[in-house]
Amino acid sequence: MLYERVFKPLLLRMDPERAHETVTTALKLAQEIPGAPAVFDRYAAKPEPRLSVKAFGLKFPNPIGLAAGFDKNCRMSRVLPALGFGFLELGSVTLRPQKGNVRPRVFRLPEQSAVINRQGFPGAGARACAARLARAGKSPVPVGINIGLNADCPPERAPQEYAQTFKILEPYGDYFVVNVSSPNTEGLRELQERRKLEKILEAVRAENKAGKPVLIKISPDVSDAGLFALVETAKSQAAGIVAGNTTVSRPGVPASAGDVRGGLSGKPLRALSTNLVRKIFRLSGGAVPVVAAGGVFTGGDALEKIRAGACLVQLYTGLVYRGPGAPRAIARELAELLAQNGFAGVSSAVGTGA
């Protein structure tokens, strides 16, 4: 295939962030060609009986979504659905523009099919993202917007800043995610503490006039006690949990390759995030919708997450290594596996391996 033979070797030779910028620029330009979004829409995933999912009041044509971080600046919302994604999660978007950490800050571990990143939410800020989404028009698949926090936000202002960011972006997202789990913004993961998170969710709820689903994104590094509290908070105050973010641990990564500060994603994260999904499903008795992310490369990986309790699945690193054909291929593989295993649809498989 053209991607495997030509583009992948070229992109993998470039600095990871430069490669990502090159891809983003190409896709953004494609999206801006007059009339192009309507053409891309024709390639977007259509609901199929075996793959369609209903979750937190939304309908998804398939459960394979784009994880946050790939389209941080909301530039590709009308072109990415053409890759076959069942939904997109854009962001993380912060209230004010910021540069993020110094480069280099994204590192590939090709032998492990992994990435370590410490980007620290570089981005154009909420107003610029809202303007882009207004210009782009409605995506043919559900769009989530993931909200982060500026590095200079004092902890006590976190509730207001999440709420303000939500307010600016509210018209453009079908669902929202409060990200309290990126390891690259100092103090962010401490916002997973129960009282702090409740205050954030209360502040966001005060701005949520249309009652859009608001989920929380958590870290696979939380303690069992911390997870119990997060699940309790989610049960009463959130529409679901995105499980999860990158890990600061280094499972299955040789010390020489793992000796880089940042969050690890990709294959080595797979089992850790599946276990997180399973724990949430058990703790909540299946009452909290779970969006799983971490090491999804194949339909088998997606089914593993679904059987552990996820109703939706996302990928980022799998897209880096498997290429633009990944979402469509994973959805097709999942449909085949569901059929082979006697599942009529995704929902009948959720939690069957928990």
Ligand X SMILES: Cc1cc2nc3c(=O)[nH]c(=O)nc-3n(C[C@H](O)[C@H](O)[C@H](O)COP(=O)(O)O)c2cc1C
Query: Look-up: residue for tokens 């492990």?
Result: 112
- x/- map, 158-197, ligand X, by CB under 6 A: ---------------------x--x---------------
Whether the CB-CB separation of 89 and 146 falls below 8 Å is answered with yes
**Which CB, 52 or 94, lies closer to ligand X?**
94
Structural contact between residues 184 and 101, judged by C-beta atoms closer than 8 angstroms: yes
Q: Which residue is nearest to ligand X (CB)?
A: 69
83 binds ligand X (CB under 6 A): no
Which of 149, 158, 293, 312 is the binder for ligand X (CB under 6 A)? 293
Task: Tell me the C-alpha distance between 275 and 256, whole Å.
Answer: 26
Tell me if 204 sits within 8 A of 162, measured CB to CB.
Answer: yes
Nearest distance from residue 269's CB to ligand X, in Å?
5
- C-alpha distance across the termini of the chain, in Å: 37
Of 37 and 105, the one with the shorter C-beta distance to ligand X is 105
Under the binding rule (CB under 6 A), the answer on residue 108 touching ligand X is no
Q: Give the span between the Cα atoms of 204 and 317, in whole angstroms.
A: 30
Q: Does 113 bind ligand X (CB under 6 A)?
A: no
Instruction: Specify the amino acid at residue 19.
Output: A
Q: Which C-beta is closer to ligand X: that of 159 or that of 266?
A: 266
Catalytic, 182? Answer yes
Say how far apart CA 105 and CA 111 lie, in whole Å: 19
Part of the chain binding ligand X (CB under 6 A), chosen from 6-14, 126-134, 316-324, 326-334:
316-324
C-alpha dist (Å) from residue 272 to 237, 240, 269: 25, 19, 5
Q: Among residues 182, 219, 265, 273, which one is catalytic?
A: 182
Task: Quote the tokens at residue 104.
Answer: 């280099």
Q: Which residues bind ligand X (CB under 6 A)?
A: 67-69, 72, 92, 106, 115, 117, 119, 121, 146, 179, 182, 217, 245-246, 265-266, 269, 293-296, 315-318
Catalytic residues: 182
